[in-house]
Chain A
């Protein structure tokens, strides 16, 4: 297994000489009878030789940054994922040529794994046992932990595939360690061992009213569905959701809370949204976004003399708070953008957004203006969190490059 590992990470083949790094290296020495071996398609060739070669692989290159995202909105296609992979560059696509029902997404830098793949019970099994997919008993946390740990250490894994169409567990697919691994699903922070592997975690907290409005939009066109059936489905899943999924938000480094607007009295269409970005204080390498004056409390309506907004306008709030016993900073946006200049105006007043150039947030939002949430706080905060994750990733990579000893100890 170690041999195969070395061929996936960055390796150099050299004749034996003293190593210049000296730490945290795997060294493999090959001896063969000199018989030429044909290399497998896509696999590692060049192992057969009659002279001894030392393959040196630096683990610091293959240490993957792991992000956890808790969301109840299915896997991989979520808008958040698309925005995140876009921040890093490129679009995430399903793995080419493999199982067409794979839930995995891969881009140049990022691999997104759907945690439904770790279901221990398929649809039939869950029906027999009387457990929903939300129930921990339907999920194999031991395997989840083992595989996320392996990927983090640079070892490829054969990960199961849960097929959402057939409801069955399909044969596994190979996952090679990427620069950034995102694990997305219902239980990324449920198991404490998996939690400890996460470099950053996010919880998407959708309020019941908004969830209902979104599911109506999603399902009303389907034969069989009605307002009542949509409502019944949400209600029936609520006990398990409250028991197993919701408690994870206390562990998240950032929570994106989506609520109905307060700007339109009695609005229940769920179109205008109030979105709160709750950021944990004291998280290593993560500096919360703030408005005007860090640590103070700010109420801000950008629309006025300099900026004209259409109804219902935009309202911001920023301030410190406590969340499940932790100190947090909360940045809140209620309302909608409908012009470019509103967006750039707001961006120019936010601090600690980890952009690389002025207008980067606006540019990212514009790039994906057809994504849901592009005109409100969901798109704005998802984009900002994406930039914060990029910043976190770059800090981790920089620190590992400078001090391999420290990195080895970490």
Chain B
């Protein structure tokens, strides 16, 4: 935690650029462009369990979007249609949460420290 500043003098934390306070684009590992939007590639998974979750969520999003489109073709106001898109939202949010956690470190890091022998914790190699 930064030390308490004296009134009128605030020292920015280490690594801060003195000119721009809030850099508009924080460049992390890789940046890809898709459809004109700049997106950040996911940090690499360290453990097999994280890689599995990542893959599962990616596939689920694709699958559930297709399902939702099919289900809603008949009646866009039906319960089935609403539930289908709610599932899309749930998995999309779960993927985004995982992506965010992975920016710091593999989310299984502390679990694997205590359970290194499980399948989840095998070091993932591409």
Question: Which residues of A pack against B, CB within 8 Å?
Answer: 73-74, 76-77, 89, 93-94, 96-98, 100, 123, 126-127, 130-134, 164-165, 167, 215-225, 229, 232-233, 235-237, 239-240, 336-340, 343-344, 357-359, 362-363, 366-367, 369-370, 374-375
Contact = CB atoms under 8 A, between A and B. Distances in A.
A223 B61 contact: yes
B62 to A, nearest CB: 3
Nearest to B63: A224
B86 A132 contact: yes
Interface in B49-108: 49, 53, 56-58, 61-66, 68-69, 72, 76, 79-97, 100-101, 107-108
B110 A232 contact: no
Given A218-B92, A221-B34, A235-B85, 9 more contacts: A94-B107, A97-B110, A221-B37, A233-B68, A236-B84, A236-B86, A237-B89, A369-B16, A375-B22
B65 A123 contact: no
B116 interface: no
Interface in B1-59: 1-2, 4-5, 7-8, 10, 12-13, 16, 20-22, 26, 32, 34-35, 37, 39, 49, 53, 56-58
Contacts of A167: 90
B114 A96 contact: yes
A225 B94 contact: no
Contacts of B82: 132, 236-237, 239-240
Contacts of A357: 4-5
Interface residues on B, range: 35 or more
A57 to B, nearest CB: 30
Nearest to B19: A339
A337 B22 CA distance: 8
29 contacts: A76-B97, A96-B111, A97-B115, A123-B90, A127-B83, A131-B83, A132-B83, A132-B86, A133-B90, A165-B53, A165-B57, A220-B34, A220-B39, A221-B32, A221-B37, A222-B95, A224-B64, A225-B65, A225-B92, A233-B68, A236-B72, A237-B86, A337-B21, A340-B10, A357-B4, A359-B7, A359-B10, A363-B2, A369-B22
Contact of A229 (B16, B86, B88): B88
Nearest to B77: A239
Q: Which of B21, B34, B88 has the most CB of A within 10 A?
A: B21
A212 to B, nearest CB: 13
Contact of B58 (A223, A237, A367, A375): A223
B68 to A, nearest CB: 7
A218 B55 CA distance: 17
Interface of B is mostly: helix
A370 B92 CA distance: 22
Nearest to B76: A236
A218 B2 contact: no
A100 B105 CA distance: 14
A158 B84 CA distance: 31
A344 B79 CA distance: 50
A372 to B, nearest CB: 10
A70 to B, nearest CB: 16
B22 A338 contact: yes
A215 to B, nearest CB: 8
Given A97-B114, A229-B88, A358-B7, A130 B80 contact: yes
Nearest to A134: B86
B96 A344 contact: no
A138 to B, nearest CB: 10
Q: Which of A222, A223, A340, A362 has the most CB of B within 10 A?
A: A222
Contacts of B64: 224
A130 B86 CA distance: 11
A127 B87 CA distance: 9
Which 7 interchain pairs have the tightest Cβ spacing? Answer: A224-B62, A130-B79, A236-B85, A132-B86, A375-B22, A164-B94, A224-B65
A379 B43 CA distance: 25
A73 B93 contact: yes
A369 B26 CA distance: 10
Contacts of B83: 126-127, 130-132
Contact of B86 (A133, A218, A337, A366): A133
Nearest to A97: B114
A340 B65 contact: no
B3 to A, nearest CB: 9
Contacts of A123: 87, 90
Contact of A359 (B1, B5, B84): B5
Nearest to A86: B1
A354 B72 CA distance: 50
A131 B21 contact: no
Contacts of A217: 37
